[in-house]
Amino acid sequence: MENRSIYDIRKEIGRILVEESPPKNNVNMVVPIPDSGIPAAIGYAKHSGLPMELGIIRNHYIGRTFIQPTAEVRKVRIKLKFNANKHTLKASKKLYILLWKIFCLDTLVGEGPSARTLRIDLPPFTLIGATTRLGLLSAPLRDRFGIPLHLEFYSFEELVNIIKRGARVLSNEIEENSAREIACRARGTPRIALRLLRRIRDFVEVKDDKKITYEVTDSVLLKLGVDKMGLNKLDMHYLRFLFNTSGPVGIGTISIALSEDVGNIEETV
């Protein structure tokens, strides 16, 4: 649907609705809910052979809001939004009312009784979310995502290819052993692998060289405090504390022993 207008897309969906929900014999009119339902109603009427009439007229007035203290007041506000075209509606025995309320975002402007809604038109899109802390999302929000997936780490060979490509982007030549050594210390994460590659590139450029050799890679990673398993100084302190502690230990105790913030340990170790 790229490079197509929302108007044309809604008309096309009206045609699809005719195929999925054909009108019954006693339906003799298509009535859209303004404003977003009108294009779909045009498409539906065109392909179903039914006439389309504006049986519901929308009022436009400044400062409209449905945020009111009681249901009675809200009903009055809704009646102010739409007016029924009684002449058109009475002339029909049965209507096919088409409501179309997607491709838009309603956002709240202001607070309290003076608040009002602002509608922003949106093109069709697919939302893809990624998180390592799924439990912090509310259940209704999680249910909005129709296909939950669990992502695995990149394989070793995939990381090597990513590092080689990163070196080409940086206009540096990299030895096979050097790329594999960086991949070994990247914890299966391209972001970490490319960060290490950029730091090694900085050392190479200081020496006015363009080739990343294994010797340079090993030397730079040693200076950066990244060991053969990709662990840094804080990681080693954490593991050493667990090894020397008999029995289970909580994150608060670890934080005090390492003189590190709890959040820092949770997010970085």
Are the beta carbons of 221 and 193 closer than 8 angstroms? no
Q: What is the pLDDT of residues 49-68, one digit of tens each?
A: 888 877 777 766 545 555 55
Q: What is the pLDDT of residues 217-247, one digit of tens each?
A: 999 998 888 888 888 787 777 778 888 787 7
Cβ-based neighbours of 69, under 8 Å, separated by 6 or more: 113
d(CA 180, CA 186): 10
| pLDDT for res 161 | 94
Task: Read off the pTM.
Answer: 0.48
The tokens describing 237, both together, are: 């302190």
Q: Say which range, 43-57, 102-116, 148-162, has the weakest mean pLDDT.
A: 102-116
Band (pLDDT 50/70/90 cuts) for residue 80 is low
